[in-house]
Amino acid sequence: MSEHARTDHATALDYKESGTAKVVAQGSGVMARNIAELARQHNVLVLQDFKLSERLSQVPLGTNIPDKVFAALSVVLGFLEREEENTNTR
């Protein structure tokens, strides 16, 4: 599998404070690039993680992501949040 094929997929999530996240958009190719660009335009975090993206692409549109995947996502988002806080305090 080429590197381009491995990374040319996007999944958009709607995260709730209750600790759930729902798949609200998915796509590959041009659609993936459009999802990522729209997110950037609206200052939404865009995370590039092939393994997580591959797993999220298997979650049907409109459904909550499985607990196991949410746990992995939480670790990544927690790390990014701490990095952002550290950057803002420097």
Q: What is the pLDDT of residues 3-22, one digit of tens each?
A: 444 558 899 988 877 778 89
Radius of gyration of the chain (CA): 14
Predicted local distance difference test score (pLDDT) of residue 4: 46
Q: What is the mean pLDDT of the chain?
A: 82
Is there a contact between 47 and 36 (Cβ–Cβ < 8 Å)?
A: no
Domain-wise residue ranges, the chain? 3-88
Q: Is 0.75 topped by the overall pTM?
A: no
CATH 3.40.1690.10 for domain 3-88: yes
pLDDT tens per residue, range 69-82: 888 888 877 887 78
| Inter-CA distances, 52 with 7, 42, 55, 85, 88, Å | 11, 22, 5, 24, 27
